């Protein structure tokens, strides 16, 4: 684990200083396709923590998502202006949205995990780890074979960022209506 420690330190130093390398990367990535397959992870240490292995059938993708809050149109007439706010937060995190876009682009792959890479003025960049469903090396891997069996992980909120925005990582008081889902909790379908 020695080398990964130094890799992490290098990344943290880059982000703190906003180095020229990072600025050049962000400007180059902004001109590329929103969902782009990449050869290897930018932050190898973080990718390995989340389950990345350099083997056949493991695909990396960089996803560009517009940062910031969602702007809602003003409703016409008959309401107090103070009640018609302009900017609202998404129900999902931007990371979950990035995972879904990667899953939509690579139809034969299943999302394993994702992590934050960088942020410019307009965009946030995430790298998504995907697994080929039909790859023989993936099917024979004991860890990956279980993940590949869960179809539509990104859409159903089963990845780590998906579970986070669903409220699954929180426990205790105030989380009674999170399980089995927030929507069913609002409908009153909780098991009593």
Q: Give 143-171 pLDDT, tens digit per residue.
A: 898 899 889 999 998 999 988 888 888 88
Cα gap 44→115, rounded to integer Å: 11
Q: Give 16-51 pLDDT, tens digit per residue.
A: 676 788 888 899 999 999 999 999 999 888 999 999
Q: Give 5-15 pLDDT, tens digit per residue.
A: 887 887 777 77
Q: Which residues contact 163 (CB under 8 A, 6 or more apart)?
A: 157, 169
Residue 106 has pLDDT above 70, yes or no: yes
Residue 175 has pLDDT above 80, yes or no: yes
Select from 160, 192, 166, 190 the least CA-distant residue to 177. Answer: 190
Residue 75: its pLDDT value, please? 73
Cα gap 27→37, rounded to integer Å: 18
Q: Give 118-146 pLDDT, tens digit per residue.
A: 988 889 999 999 999 999 999 999 889 88
pTM: 0.83
Band of pLDDT at residue 191, cut at 50, 70 and 90: low
Residue 95: its pLDDT value, please? 94
CATH topology of domain 2-151: Ribosomal protein L15e (3.40.1120)
Q: Which residues contact 173 (CB under 8 A, 6 or more apart)?
A: none
- Residue 170: Cβ within 10 Å count: 11
Cα gap 41→98, rounded to integer Å: 16
Residue 80 has pLDDT above 80, yes or no: no
**For the chain, what are the domain ranges?**
2-151
């Amino acid at each position: 684990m020695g080398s990964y420690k130094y890799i992490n330190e290098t990344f943290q130093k880059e982000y703190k200083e906003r180095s020229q390398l990072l600025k050049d990367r962000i400007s180059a990535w902004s001109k590329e396709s929103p969902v782009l397959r990449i050869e290897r992870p930018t932050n190898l240490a973080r990718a390995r923590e989340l389950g990345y292995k350099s083997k056949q059938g493991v695909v990396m993708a960089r996803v560009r998502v517009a940062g910031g809050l969602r702007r809602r149109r003003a409703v016409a007439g008959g309401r107090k202006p103070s009640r018609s706010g302009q900017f609202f937060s998404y129900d999902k995190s931007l990371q979950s949205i990035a995972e879904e876009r990667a899953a939509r682009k690579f139809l034969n792959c299943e999302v394993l995990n994702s992590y934050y890479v960088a942020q410019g003025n307009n965009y946030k960049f995430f790298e998504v780890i995907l697994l080929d469903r039909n790859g023989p090396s993936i099917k024979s891997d004991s860890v990956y074979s279980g993940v590949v069996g869960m179809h539509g992980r990104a859409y159903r909120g089963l990845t780590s960022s998906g579970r986070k925005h669903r409220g699954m990582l929180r426990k205790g008081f105030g989380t009674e209506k999170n399980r089995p889902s927030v929507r069913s909790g609002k409908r009153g379908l909780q098991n009593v």
